[in-house]
Amino acid sequence: MIPLKYYLILSAAFFSIGIIGVLTRRNAIIIFMCIELMLNAVNLTLVSFSSFFGDSSGQIFVFFVMAVAAAEAAVGLAIIIALFRNKLTINVDEVNIFKW
């Protein structure tokens, strides 16, 4: 059996990679992918603690997080497509929606 700390270290690494990606990248699609990576890191933590404590409530909560992540991806990609059609770029530095 793999100890809990290995799962938590892997989850922290994934979450850190996601944060670094959100803060350093300027491509909107990569930023959304990094947000999804952070949500999956949280899911890994929830499942790890759920398995460790023998309680299924963490695994049930993961399904709700996955539903929110799917909705976020659909809405986020729709926003990216709309921005690309209007501004012809997905670079977040070049997109300024407050300008006319």
14-38 pLDDT, tens digit each? 999 999 999 999 888 999 999 999 9
Mean pLDDT for the stretch of residues 51-75: 91
Q: What is the pLDDT of residue 99?
A: 65
Give the three-state DSSP class for 93. Answer: coil
Residue 23 lies in a domain: yes
CATH code, domain with 53:
1.10.287.3510
Residue 96 lies in a domain: no
Q: What is the pLDDT of residue 46?
A: 95
Query: What is the model's pTM?
Result: 0.85
| Residue whose C-alpha is closest to residue 33's, from 18, 16, 13, 14 | 18
Q: How many domains does the chain have?
A: 1
Domain that residue 13 falls in: 4-87
Can you say whether residue 54 is alpha, beta or left, with left for phi > 0 and alpha for psi between -120 and 50 degrees?
left
Mean pLDDT for the stretch of residues 86-95: 82
Mean pLDDT for the stretch of residues 61-71: 92
